[in-house]
Structure 1
Amino acid sequence: MAISFRQLEIFEKVAQTGHVTRAGEELLLTQSAISMAVSQLEQFTGAPLFERSGRRLILNDRGRLLLAEAGGILQAVRRMEQLLQKNGGELTGELLVGGSTTIGNYLLPALLGTFARRYPKTRVQLRVGNTQQVVTWMEEGRLDIAFIEGPCHSRGMITTHWRDDELVVVAGPEHAWGGESRATAEMLASAPWIMRERGSGTREVFETAMDSLGIHYSIALELGHTEAIKNGVASGLGVSCLSRLAVHRELEHGWLVPIASPLALTRSLALIRRRESFRTPLLSAFLDVAEGTWDGADFAKIATGPPG
């Protein structure tokens, strides 16, 4: 039996998700089809590729070895498909797009929807992580293009300004700051901060702004999800500094309160790609949509989404 491209694609998706069911949902395949493909690969290699922990599948050392090789093969075939596209024909193929948390959750879904409607025979896979993770995925060749909200420290990437964003200090409506119009440096220093993990672009911009004013601060709670931070702040556990894109609805409804401060919290959202990457017709079409879809009020409207 020869290993097929489809088996490798299924294996990669199971490795990424850790679940047969989730892999099937993303690939639009039945659980039995996913399980059969994994079983056939394990028969071919003569040993298990995963450890079973309940319903979760965890790669063992043999599986990690295969994934490293499979990733290169899958990327090569996908690039081949893109290279074979003709500029005058209808675009097809798959694009792997990454986004750091704020961009990936609040901006890219609308952009991908626009792209899908314009090019219905294409497929885009979106992978979301913090800025550091997204840059690493780009370096490893696991993404074709990515959008980040923090600085890129990789010399192998070309960074292009995409859009501007603003962070805002927020507190719960019942918090002591709720009645204040502005927080002083002393108030910022003594506050219990609820922030994203290290590697997050939002966290890095906040730390740079605080350090530039010489403000010593304390992180009371570190959470990996923006929604969890918003809920913690609304419940009075502390204050935070988040993208205005992420808290627009909460500010509009009064669930969170914006607090003015002396911090410089404007940042650049950036688009990154590898220096040696070839701009295929599919990638060019996506970049045209990304760079030209929104500006000014249109950007703010799409970023905040429909009224809830």
Structure 2
Amino acid sequence: MDIDYELYKIFHRVAGAGSFTKGAEELHITQSAVSQAIKNLESRLGTPLFLRDGRRIRLSHEGEVLFRHISQGILNFSAGERSLKEMAGFDSGEVRIGVGDTICRYHLIPIFKSFAEEYPGIRIQVKNRTSSGILSLLKNGSIDFGIVSLPAGSGQYTIQPFRRVRDVFVASRRFEELRGGRCRIENLAEYPLLLLNGESTTRKLLDHFLQSRGIKVVPAIELESMDLLEEFAKIGFGIAHVEEMSIQRAVSAGELFIINTEPALPDRELGIVSLGASLPSGAAKLMREYILTREPVTTI
């Protein structure tokens, strides 16, 4: 059966986006062109690929089977096209990265800056998502790799450890009695705690650490941003669990202090996650190696 590759590409993008409108935007074509292409493909294959409910769509059983079989092929075609464009060197190219707020701000911004100065012809596209969102982007081919807190996903991903980070509990002068000395970590459960939401990898690691010591906590506030946790801690709403690097300025300014817990919290590892060991473009490979060889930059 001879079917135009473009029809498969449009189907793959719409299925990954979960919407005709979003698929059209990502492909830079009209929604009517997308709809017509899907109709043509369904007609050629003799089966519906999407189930439609008003403006909402989802893959039919046949659509799911097709999506699974063509996904790697689509990614390989795209990788080939991009690699050919970059064969002349690194005067041009694009790398697509998925990363969360804190990792991007405190670990990658300095790297992106120096990379852009060294390779001005390579376009860096950054998509800000949670760890689970980054893995979803990887699956549908929207990014080349992501940087997340480990562990991440199952064996289908290739993981390269990037950097170890330290998480701490911090507080304002409202909790002055906790400054200095050492605080048993189980005693912190008696205070209002400011934590990331329960779906974040960082929070899951903390919960596991506490539960292994028989400590159960009910946070006073749950947020999706470490920056917001810091702000609530500054105004005395509670004790925040944050990455040490992210609160250096606030500690230096005397707005917050680090609580020395007994035992200390374990280090957390960041990693580069991709689908398979081979990245889809020369620019992506270059960026990955660039990230892996950079030293941390102090933000004080």
Q: TM-score, normalised by structure 1?
A: 0.71
Is the partner of 1:218 in helix, strand or coil? coil
Is the partner of 2:165 in helix, strand or coil? strand
Q: CA deviation at 1:115?
A: 2.0
CA distance in 1, matches of 2:141, 2:177: 45
1:203-218 to structure 2, matched below 5 A, reads: 203-218=203-218
Does residue 268 of the first structure (1) align with residue 269 of the second (2)?
yes
Using the TM superposition, name which of 250-259 and 76-85 deviates more: 76-85
Q: Which amino acid aligns with 1:61?
A: I
Is the CA contact 2:75–2:280 (under 8 Å) kept in the aligned structure 1? no
Does residue 61 of the first structure (1) align with residue 35 of the second (2)?
no
Is the partner of 1:246 in helix, strand or coil? helix
The residue that corresponds to 1:225 in the other structure is 225
Is the CA contact 2:193–2:238 (under 8 Å) kept in the aligned structure 1? yes
Q: CA deviation at 1:246?
A: 1.6
Q: TM-score, normalised by structure 2?
A: 0.73
If asked which structure has higher relative contact order (CA below 8 Å, sep 6+), I would say 2
CA distance in 2, matches of 1:107, 1:156: 26
The residue that corresponds to 2:46 in the other structure is none
Is the CA contact 2:94–2:284 (under 8 Å) kept in the aligned structure 1? no
Q: CA deviation at 1:166?
A: 0.5
Is the partner of 1:89 in helix, strand or coil? coil
C-alpha change, 1:75 and 1:275, in structure 2 (3 Å) is closer
Is the CA contact 1:85–1:91 (under 8 Å) kept in the aligned structure 2? no
CA distance in 1, matches of 2:33, 2:103: 38
1:107-146 to structure 2, matched below 5 A, reads: 107-146=107-146
C-alpha change, 1:39 and 1:174, in structure 2 (3 Å) is farther
Instruction: Give the CA RMSD over aligned residues.
Output: 4.0
Is the partner of 2:228 in helix, strand or coil? helix
CA distance in 2, matches of 1:102, 1:150: 14
- Extract unaligned runs of 5+ from structure 1: 28-33, 47-58
Identity of aligned residues (%): 20
Q: Which amino acid aligns with 2:238?
A: G
Is the CA contact 2:86–2:283 (under 8 Å) kept in the aligned structure 1? no
Q: Deviations over 1:106-144 (max 9, x none)?
A: 222222222222222221211122223222322333221
Q: Which amino acid aligns with 1:150?
A: L
Is the CA contact 2:91–2:121 (under 8 Å) kept in the aligned structure 1? yes
CA distance in 1, matches of 2:223, 2:88: 47
The residue that corresponds to 1:300 in the other structure is 297
CA distance in 1, matches of 2:124, 2:220: 38
Is the partner of 1:84 in helix, strand or coil? helix
Is the CA contact 1:131–1:150 (under 8 Å) kept in the aligned structure 2? no
Is the CA contact 2:189–2:217 (under 8 Å) kept in the aligned structure 1? yes
| Rg comparison, structure with higher value | 2
Q: Post-superposition, which runs of at least 4 consecutive aligned residues in structure 1 deviate over 6 A?
A: 42-46, 71-74
C-alpha change, 1:170 and 1:177, in structure 2 (3 Å) is farther
The residue that corresponds to 1:31 in the other structure is none
C-alpha change, 1:134 and 1:143, in structure 2 (3 Å) is same
